[in-house]
Structure 1
Amino acid sequence: MKIDRAEMLDTLSNPDKLRNLLNHNQPLKASSSPTDSTEQKLSDWLGRLKLLHGVPFNYLVPDMEMLPMESIRFFHCDTTWLSYLADGALSIGRTASSDYTHDEVHLPKLKLFARKSLKSERGKALGHLSIHLNKKESGLLNAEPNKASETITGFLLRSGVVKDWEGMQVAAFGANDVPCQLLRMDHLSPNVLLCMYEGIVNRIRINEHPEVLHFGFEKLETLQKSFRNLANKGVGQEPGTQIDEKVIKPIVLNPRDEKLSYMRSGNTGIIRINKLAAGMQNALNKGVDYKDSFTAAEFALEMVAGAEAVNFIIK
């Protein structure tokens, strides 16, 4: 077979002709996947790079004063910067115009696969850090990565709690309080935690690991307990959900008027359980028209206290 050298050079320097030669004229589909192990390895590597794996920490935080101890910093990844990061990594070895042509033809497909790898890589390196996720969020790690976005937000937390609370759980929520999918979670040092999520994060919740269930009260000026729904009142008001304090005021355990107190007299610290249960039932009856039975099960639901949580609202 005779090869025309001039025609070959023209093809290698013309993106359209090179696409025709390689049969790459078909538009890329979101559901497309790597066709061989080389493409898969490259897309996985690019996906990890866009999650800032291998990027020196001083590139992320140029000055220590930007992340002092006991601080949290929220961020939004610049997609243009991420593209240049990937382009810089892929530029190694470009020495001739034909290399640029080659990249112009092949890179769109590789970048599509890299976007999918942002998700497919997220659960592989989590390891022991999975303790930071609750069961529902762990399930999101296995979601299909066909629809992937490069809109990435997250936070850096530098605090003693990262080191001391190994079971600390972290959750992120977007618009309408929908959970955001985790892309990366890493201990960059014993007291620095990096979390990256797909989409725009509006709220971050950090709480202690719920190891045991216990009864408890909120201690403000006095001990008090807010109420939970016992009956299904509709979306957002299912059994166990918190009742707005404007609907039912929290029950005060030891008010100034000792006649209304649910504590035994004499500063004994002992609660009159029967009286407290009756007071709760009466408040629920008046506030949300709850007329069903109020047994030990309903009393326990009202009294159970979860682990302490801190919510950060990002505006």
Structure 2
Amino acid sequence: MHVRMDWDNSPQLVRTHVRRVFGELAALTKDQPVSLEHQDDELIGWLSQLCLLVNLPFHYLIPTESMLPDDSIRLFYVNPNWLQALVDGACSLGRNASLDLTHDQELIDAVISQIGKRMKAVRPLLQSKSVTAKELDEEVQAIGGFLLRSPLVRGWRGLEFKALSSQGTPLRALRIELLSDDVLIGLFEGIPYTLELDQPPEGYFFGFNHINGRYMKRLRNLDSGELLSESDSIEVAVQNEKMRTIDVYQTAKHMEAYFKKEITSAEFALQMIKTPYIGKVVRKDE
């Protein structure tokens, strides 16, 4: 109480001087490089995870179940003012006097800047990957993400997610984590306009399509491996439909007739690969 009264009753000149000192300290803090040593930045590291919505009560994110029903995905944008209020609230626990409030008001922007840089290191460090100091030079300017509630989360543990900006630029993943058996959250540096959901890479297999009672295989460029057009397809010869076996020799002959060259076993394998399915969610602004 005495500290609060002394500060509130102190001369304006003293209060101005103290604020100037705090302001200079804030400028130094904002410009200093981010340290990845645990003992040096334990608080910044904890606040960085907080700003990635780690350990927040779920009802802070989804106030009512109707906002995230079964079999749904929701794209969202994280309001930076909300994050600043979150950090301010987390740092307010030790405030006992108005001097503490003045200190926080001057330093909070600098702390937010440090957190914005440190957030880029949270996911790589959890994955035991290295992070260079250069990667942490610039702070995160915007955070967008998604919430997925679906049996896919439980059934496909290796799902991969790729977010693209409105210009088609890939966005850095800041956090992709399970919140429950059927709910998953993803956060990216930037605002996703397109979200790609890829089956796990181990889902590669040999396959073809059943079209109008025939088994057809869409071919690939022999040099690049890229898929050709739908019309560039050959029929897959079936050896025994009941036993679900194909005639490899005859199918290879169909490929040779299309490419007008002899097909090697490696080229045959390339043609028969069927990549895992990719689902896309595209944001449409009204």
TM-score where L is the length of structure 2: 0.78
User: Does the 8 Å CA contact 2:252/2:268 hold for their aligned counterparts?
Assistant: yes
Instruction: Select which of 253, 262, 269 maps to 2:235.
Output: 253
Give, in whole Å, the separation in 1 of the partners of 2:38 and 2:158: 37
SS at match of 2:76: strand
User: Kindly tell me: are residues 45 and 32 of structure 1, through their superposed partners in 2, closer, same or farther at Cα, counting changes over 3 Å?
Assistant: same
Alignment partner, residue 304 of structure 1: 273
Instruction: Select which of 201, 209, 215 maps to 1:218.
Output: 209
The CA RMSD measured in Å over matched residues stands at: 3.6
User: Kindly tell me: are residues 122 and 265 of structure 1, through their superposed partners in 2, closer, same or farther at Cα, counting changes over 3 Å?
Assistant: closer
Moved more, 90-99 or 196-205: 90-99
Q: Which amino acid aligns with 1:228?
A: R
Moved more, 73-82 or 38-47: 38-47
User: Does the 8 Å CA contact 1:12/1:98 hold for their aligned counterparts?
Assistant: no
Q: Which amino acid aligns with 1:276?
A: T
Task: Encode CA deviations 1:4-47: one digit per residue, 9 max, x unaligned.
Answer: x9998646622x65434785385776663369978722221221
Alignment partner, residue 58 of structure 1: 59
Alignment partner, residue 242 of structure 1: 227
Task: Encode CA deviations 1:220-243: one digit per residue, 9 max, x unaligned.
Answer: 444322222222xxxxxxx12222
User: Does the 8 Å CA contact 2:34/2:136 hold for their aligned counterparts?
Assistant: no
1:123 Cα deviation (Å)?
A: 3.2
User: Kindly tell me: are residues 150 and 12 of structure 1, through their superposed partners in 2, closer, same or farther at Cα, counting changes over 3 Å?
Assistant: farther
Q: Which amino acid aligns with 1:243?
A: L
SS at match of 1:91: helix
1:265 Cα deviation (Å)?
A: 9.3
User: Does the 8 Å CA contact 1:214/1:304 hold for their aligned counterparts?
Assistant: yes
Give, in whole Å, the separation in 2 of the partners of 1:33 and 1:60: 29
Give, in whole Å, the separation in 2 of the partners of 1:22 and 1:198: 29
Give, in whole Å, the separation in 2 of the partners of 1:241 and 1:35: 41
Q: Which amino acid aligns with 1:156?
A: L
Aligned 1:1-315 pairs, distance under 5 A: 10=12, 13-14=15-16, 17-20=18-21, 23-24=24-25, 32-33=33-34, 40-94=41-95, 96-125=97-126, 142=131, 144-175=135-166, 177-211=168-202, 213-221=204-212, 222-231=214-223, 239-245=224-230, 249-253=231-235, 262-263=237-238, 271-284=246-259, 294-315=263-284
Give, in whole Å, the separation in 2 of the partners of 1:8 and 1:64: 52
1:153 Cα deviation (Å)?
A: 1.3
In structure 2, the gaps of 5 or more residues are: 1-5
Give, in whole Å, the separation in 2 of the partners of 1:21 and 1:51: 27
Q: How many residues align?
A: 275
1:154 Cα deviation (Å)?
A: 1.3
Alignment partner, residue 236 of structure 1: none
Alignment partner, residue 3 of structure 2: none
SS at match of 1:242: coil
- Alignment identity in percent? 30
User: Kindly tell me: are residues 54 and 283 of structure 1, through their superposed partners in 2, closer, same or farther at Cα, counting changes over 3 Å?
Assistant: same
Give, in whole Å, the separation in 1 of the partners of 2:85 and 2:177: 23
Give, in whole Å, the separation in 1 of the partners of 2:38 and 2:161: 35
Moved more, 116-125 or 181-190: 116-125
- Normalized per residue, the structure richer in strand is 2
User: Does the 8 Å CA contact 1:76/1:153 hold for their aligned counterparts?
Assistant: yes
Give, in whole Å, the separation in 2 of the partners of 1:266 and 1:167: 32
Task: Encode CA deviations 1:113-151: one digit per residue, 9 max, x unaligned.
Answer: 111121122234469xxxxxxxxxxx7x84622223141
Q: Which amino acid aligns with 1:146?
A: D
